Amino acid sequence: MKAIHKEFYVDIRKTIGRFISIFLIVALGVGFYAGIRSTEPDMRLTGDHMYDASDLMDLRIISTLGLEAFDVEKIAELDCIEKAAGAYSGDVIGQIGDNEHVIRFLSMPDGINEVTVTDGRKPENSAECMLDRSFMEQQELKIGDKLEIVSAGNREIGDLLTNTEYTVVGSFTSTQYMSASTKGTSTVGDGKVAGLAAVPEDAFALEVYTEIYASVSGAKEETCYTDAYDELVEAAADEIRDKVQDVCIQARYDEMYQAASDVIDEIVAGEKEVENGIADANQVIVDLKKQIQTAEKGIRKLEDGISEAEAGKKQAQAAIDEIQGTVDVYDRYIERFSDLGYVPAGQLTNRDVPLEQLETEKQQYVTAQAPYKGTIEQLDKTIADCRRQIAEIEEQIAKAEAGIQTANEEIAKAEDTLKDLQLKEGDARAARDELESPVWYLTDRNSIQTYLDYDQDAERISRIGIVFPVIFFLVAMLVSLTTMTRMVSEQRTQIGTLKALGYSKFSIALKYIRYALLATVLGSIVGSIIGSKLLPVVIVNAYHILYPSLSHVVTPVNLTYTLTAMGIAIGLVLAATVFASYRTLAANAAALMRPESPKAGKKVLLERIPFLWNHLGFYGKSTYRNLVRYKKRFFMTLFGVSGSMALLLVGFGLKDSTSEISDQQYGELHTYNASVVMNLSASDARMEEARTFLNEDNRINGYMEMQEGTVTASSPAKELTVYLEVPKESGGLPQYIKLRDRADKEADLPLTDDGVIITDKMARLLDVQAGDTFLLEINETEQKELKVAGIAENYIYHYIYMTPAVYEEIYGKKPEYNKMLLDTAEGIEEDSLTSDLLNLKAVNSVLFNSYIQDKFQDVLKSIDIIVLVLLISAGGLAFVVIYNLNNINIAERKRELATLKVLGFYDAEVTRYVYRENILITILGIGVGCVLGIFLHQFVIQTAEIDLIRFYKQIRGVSFLYSALLTAAFSIVINIGMYFKLKKIDLAASMKSIE
């Protein structure tokens, strides 16, 4: 057996081209299979490493009333929780340079959701921040730039952040925000988070944490995206729900209640104070009034005194006047009788009376007047005194009256205050009465959009990985079949000789089996190593466009996939080898010693159509007969070329299908331009304000109100989360959302009270048709049957459309229109309209469909990667088969070709003679590939598409063109390479006898 061994290696050396053919196609098949299949686990593993390295949270808890250290403590106490940390976040509008952006501020809790500093350093005080790398790159920012906070939406900046200006000191990446383009939606600005800012905790002015991040014990050891991981985290979430949530919620509620009560008490205290003030003031008024009364009494008494004095004065005056009369009498007598010096008798008395006596008597009377005068004087004094006192008292009264005035004013003021306080108290009481227990939302990593996207990307790649290797394996089998057939027939005489020498059939066959096996095993090993090391890296690296924070790719050789692929390859190649050699081996030695009778040329079908046949030159005739004569080769090449074509078509087709999704969805079906989510708790006035704005702004052509909600729909086939859409007026619907049948695109499906319209993919998943029913979950315990009135074309998500009447019938309440669909004018500035809308108090958020369409462009980028991989594989496939075909053709027909040369054929003519076949197969292959590609494309998009999306099924014409041109180009390149081999054929080869 030694000699046969030696011969084996010599054989390989001599037929290295053939050996390489098998080796290459097997390597390609196995590599592709192992590589693409490995990409999914590798991507997950890479993700897991990355998440673990950054301590990405397993659970996130948010509460409607914020969270506190107590909550963190309680959660951290649980055994199932390894670590819990409170964190702050909030969205603001920040200005850097001249541009304003929506920036999400994040605190950096220790040991959880760690950010990776990619440049610069971490912020060290509350006036510094890091920005995320992709934002820095997109905006061309640098360390040292200043970020100024312009607004914090509905709240004051100071309520959220302690500073209004931040210095950028570094850049970072976060596994929580992996996507470069999608960082989340926001209620401020244009509603789209543009950049992230990481700041120390003390940069936040918030009193409570906005969220708590928790890592689950043992979750790091599990690989994320696996069921084991999900179960572990779900268990921890349940434990939080069971053991902590209620306690914390109660505590928080009590606290909030207490706080509300405190506020009320404070107000009430304030009220009392004000009331006391009013009472005091009233007392003051009473007192003052009493004072005034007393004073007035005093005045009256004084006035009485004055009158009395006046009377006294009058009496005294009367007395004086009376005496004066007597005095006057005396004076008259004195005057009249001054000449006499006496008063003759008879005048007065019967005697004369001297004047002196009279003077004396008069003097007595005058003197008697004096006391009266004194009395008058006295009384005048008294009067004056009284008058003064009255003036004084009157002054006091004025003062008191002013006091009353003041007090009254005070009271009025206090009453106003009181009214205010009472209102406040009412509000505060209402607030306290309305105070609801906070609601906790426990979410896991699935709430991180990029975490989900990444998983779906991995899954997509994997699903495609199942489909394509089939082509490679089939071609590998055909290549082996033709190659080994050729080899066995070349070595016919040798096989005969060995047989004659007494070697058994099996030991001879072993040589060919070993030959094929060696090529296959080597190909498998090389293919699987290169494939599973290279493909995941290429694919994952390409995903860097979407996920800039993706770290180093982890690519262990995945033994399962490698061995599976190797097993398949070996099985197929061995089967081909045995098939190729069994007939020759079965023949007896003598027959084998004779040259194999050349395969007879045969009439082909085309000959029966003389009109066509007679127009063919001998090139054509020979070509057609060759194709028919060497069927294995023909099919190998045809399958290879058509496989190549099909792969390209699938690649381009995938791109078409994906890009068409958003074009169809937002261009044809959801023709509204933006959706506005309303704040249902806003006051009616605010709502009216919003409606007025929508009606009057000339950027808006129209709007439609509807209720949108998420519901669970189920049938025996499937349970789905879908959107429930209740347009206020179904008549106006077509302006915003086209409900139409897929088959008859012109016919609008009318939305009536007879049933609901559901979207097509949903119908498919639920396995229902128009007229069927499915179940809608009303609440946790109740389901209601809905009748499908129609099935509408749709590409993204699932929707149930129903009229308000149907809604009311099912839910027993009227729909609340929480959403407005806008039809905006052409060419408006979406950003400014968005901020104008967000300025309305009744508007919660605004989302333009153009934004969703942009997001889709990112998905397209990941499809580009797949297209590239398919392109390379298609090239490899075309190369191997055409190379192999040429190799065999040239080797086998050396004599024929040399003869043609002797006959005087130019090199170009000889080449044409050989290539005609290749060209024809290439053309045929392109044709067959089109058909194959269409089917494969259908298959791929059906397997690759996720439940939420329905791919557009058609491939664009230009994709056919590209694929055909590329396939032709592959063929041409390889054929050009073979031209030189043809040129080298020696004319003397024509003289050789038949081997």
Segment interacting with other proteins (CB under 8 A) among 92-100, 222-230, 701-709, 902-910: 902-910
Contacts of 173 (CB under 8 A, 6+ apart): 115, 116, 118, 132, 133, 134, 548, 549
Q: Which two tokens stand for residue 786?
A: 């809905």
Q: What is the DSSP string of 763-815?
A: HHHHT--TT-EEEEE-SSS-EEEEEEEEEE---BS-EEE--HHHHHHHHSS--
Does residue 502 interact with other proteins by CB under 8 A?
Answer: no
Sheet holding 211-216, edge to edge: 81-87, 211-216, 59-63, 440-444
Does residue 905 interact with other proteins by CB under 8 A?
Answer: yes
Residue from 13, 140, 436, 602 touching other proteins (CB under 8 A): that is 602
Q: In 10 A of CB 690, how many CB atoms?
A: 21
User: Based on CB atoms, which residue is closest to other proteins, 542 or 628?
Assistant: 628
Segment interacting with other proteins (CB under 8 A) among 396-404, 899-907, 930-938, 960-968: 899-907
User: Based on CB atoms, which residue is closest to other proteins, 39 or 637?
Assistant: 637
The least distance separating other proteins from the CB of residue 588, rounded to whole angstroms, comes to 22
Q: Positive or negative, the Cα torsion across 807, 812, 817, 818?
A: negative
Residue from 558, 622, 707, 824 touching other proteins (CB under 8 A): that is 622
Q: DSSP class of residue 734?
A: G
User: Based on CB atoms, which residue is closest to other proteins, 24 or 985?
Assistant: 985
Residue from 370, 711, 961, 987 touching other proteins (CB under 8 A): that is 987
Q: How far is CA 949 from the centre of its chain?
A: 17
Does residue 601 interact with other proteins by CB under 8 A?
Answer: yes
The least distance separating other proteins from the CB of residue 486, rounded to whole angstroms, comes to 16
Q: Please give the Cα distance from 498 to 3 (Å, whole number).
A: 11
> With CB under 8 A, what is the number of residues at the site for other proteins?
31
The least distance separating other proteins from the CB of residue 986, rounded to whole angstroms, comes to 9
Segment interacting with other proteins (CB under 8 A) among 72-80, 321-329, 593-601, 881-889: 593-601
Does residue 899 interact with other proteins by CB under 8 A?
Answer: yes
Q: What is the DSSP string of 347-396?
A: TSSSS-EEHHHHHHHHHHHHHHHHHHHHHHHHHHHHHHHHHHHHHHHHHH
For strands 195-199 and 99-107, give the pairing.
parallel
Q: Of the candidates 888, 886, 914, which has an alpha carbon nearest to the alpha carbon of residue 900?
A: 914
Does residue 909 interact with other proteins by CB under 8 A?
Answer: yes
Residue from 906, 965, 973, 976 touching other proteins (CB under 8 A): that is 906
Does residue 716 interact with other proteins by CB under 8 A?
Answer: no
CA dihedral 721, 945, 950, 860 (to 10 degrees): 120
Burial class (CB in 10 A: 0-12, 13-18, 19+), 590: exposed
Q: Mark residue 346 as left, alpha or beta (left: phi above 0; alpha: psi -120 to 50; beta: remaining).
A: left
Q: DSSP class of residue 994?
A: P
User: Based on CB atoms, which residue is closest to other proteins, 21 or 889?
Assistant: 889
The least distance separating other proteins from the CB of residue 993, rounded to whole angstroms, comes to 6
Q: Positive or negative, the Cα torsion across 839, 844, 845, 846?
A: negative
Q: Which two tokens stand for residue 274?
A: 């004000």
CB 640 within 8 A of CB 924: no
Cα angle, residue 477 at apex, residues 471 and 483 outer, rounded to 5°: 130
Does residue 655 interact with other proteins by CB under 8 A?
Answer: no
Does residue 904 interact with other proteins by CB under 8 A?
Answer: yes
CB 964 within 8 A of CB 924: no
Q: Which two tokens stand for residue 665?
A: 């969805």
The least distance separating other proteins from the CB of residue 911, rounded to whole angstroms, comes to 13
The least distance separating other proteins from the CB of residue 488, rounded to whole angstroms, comes to 19
Residue from 895, 912, 953, 956 touching other proteins (CB under 8 A): that is 895
The least distance separating other proteins from the CB of residue 527, rounded to whole angstroms, comes to 37
The least distance separating other proteins from the CB of residue 603, rounded to whole angstroms, comes to 8
User: Based on CB atoms, which residue is closest to other proteins, 599 or 813?
Assistant: 599
User: Based on CB atoms, which residue is closest to other proteins, 841 or 895?
Assistant: 895
Residue from 44, 699, 901, 950 touching other proteins (CB under 8 A): that is 901
User: Based on CB atoms, which residue is closest to other proteins, 9 or 906?
Assistant: 906
Does residue 979 interact with other proteins by CB under 8 A?
Answer: no
Using N-to-C axis directions, what is the helix angle for 505-542 and 849-892, rounded to 10°?
Answer: 150
Does residue 991 interact with other proteins by CB under 8 A?
Answer: yes
Does residue 902 interact with other proteins by CB under 8 A?
Answer: yes
Q: Of the candidates 701, 725, 721, which has an alpha carbon nearest to the alpha carbon of residue 712?
A: 721
Segment interacting with other proteins (CB under 8 A) among 270-278, 676-684, 882-890, 983-991: 983-991
Q: Please give the Cα distance from 42 to 551 (Å, whole number).
A: 12
Residue from 1, 501, 600, 605 touching other proteins (CB under 8 A): that is 600
Residue from 2, 13, 599, 984 touching other proteins (CB under 8 A): that is 599
Residue from 3, 501, 743, 988 touching other proteins (CB under 8 A): that is 988
Tell which positions 628-647 bind other proteins, by CB under 8 A.
Answer: 629
Binding mask 922-941 for other proteins (x = CB under 8 A): --------------------
The least distance separating other proteins from the CB of residue 895, rounded to whole angstroms, comes to 7
Phi and psi dihedrals of 841, rounded to 5?
-65, -25
Residue from 122, 424, 505, 625 touching other proteins (CB under 8 A): that is 625
Does residue 591 interact with other proteins by CB under 8 A?
Answer: no
Cα angle, residue 635 at apex, residues 629 and 638 outer, rounded to 5°: 120
User: Based on CB atoms, which residue is closest to other proteins, 597 or 710?
Assistant: 597
User: Based on CB atoms, which residue is closest to other proteins, 269 or 903?
Assistant: 903
Does residue 614 interact with other proteins by CB under 8 A?
Answer: no
Does residue 610 interact with other proteins by CB under 8 A?
Answer: no
Residue from 144, 502, 597, 710 touching other proteins (CB under 8 A): that is 597
> What is the 3 state secondary structure string of 387-429?
HHHHHHHHHHHHHHHHHHHHHHHHHHHHHHHHHHHHHHHHHHH
Does residue 492 interact with other proteins by CB under 8 A?
Answer: no
Does residue 596 interact with other proteins by CB under 8 A?
Answer: no
The least distance separating other proteins from the CB of residue 43, rounded to whole angstroms, comes to 52
The least distance separating other proteins from the CB of residue 624, rounded to whole angstroms, comes to 9
Q: Positive or negative, the Cα torsion across 871, 872, 873, 879?
A: positive
The least distance separating other proteins from the CB of residue 954, rounded to whole angstroms, comes to 42
Q: Please give the Cα distance from 435 to 612 (Å, whole number).
A: 90
Phi and psi dihedrals of 160, rounded to 5?
-100, -50
Segment interacting with other proteins (CB under 8 A) among 135-143, 321-329, 721-729, 984-992: 984-992
Q: Please give the Cα distance from 786 to 776 (Å, whole number).
A: 7
Segment interacting with other proteins (CB under 8 A) among 143-151, 252-260, 263-271, 987-995: 987-995
Q: Please give the Cα distance from 274 to 253 (Å, whole number).
A: 31
User: Based on CB atoms, which residue is closest to other proteins, 514 or 621?
Assistant: 621
Does residue 903 interact with other proteins by CB under 8 A?
Answer: yes
Q: Please give the Cα distance from 256 to 427 (Å, whole number).
A: 15
Q: What is the DSSP string of 656-724?
A: HHHHHHHIIIIIIIB---EEEEE-TTS-HHHHHHHHHHHHH-TTEEEEEEEEEEEEEEE-SS-EEEEEE
Q: State the residues that interact with other proteins by CB under 8 A.
A: 597-602, 617-618, 621-622, 625-626, 629, 895-896, 899-907, 909, 987-988, 990-991, 993-994
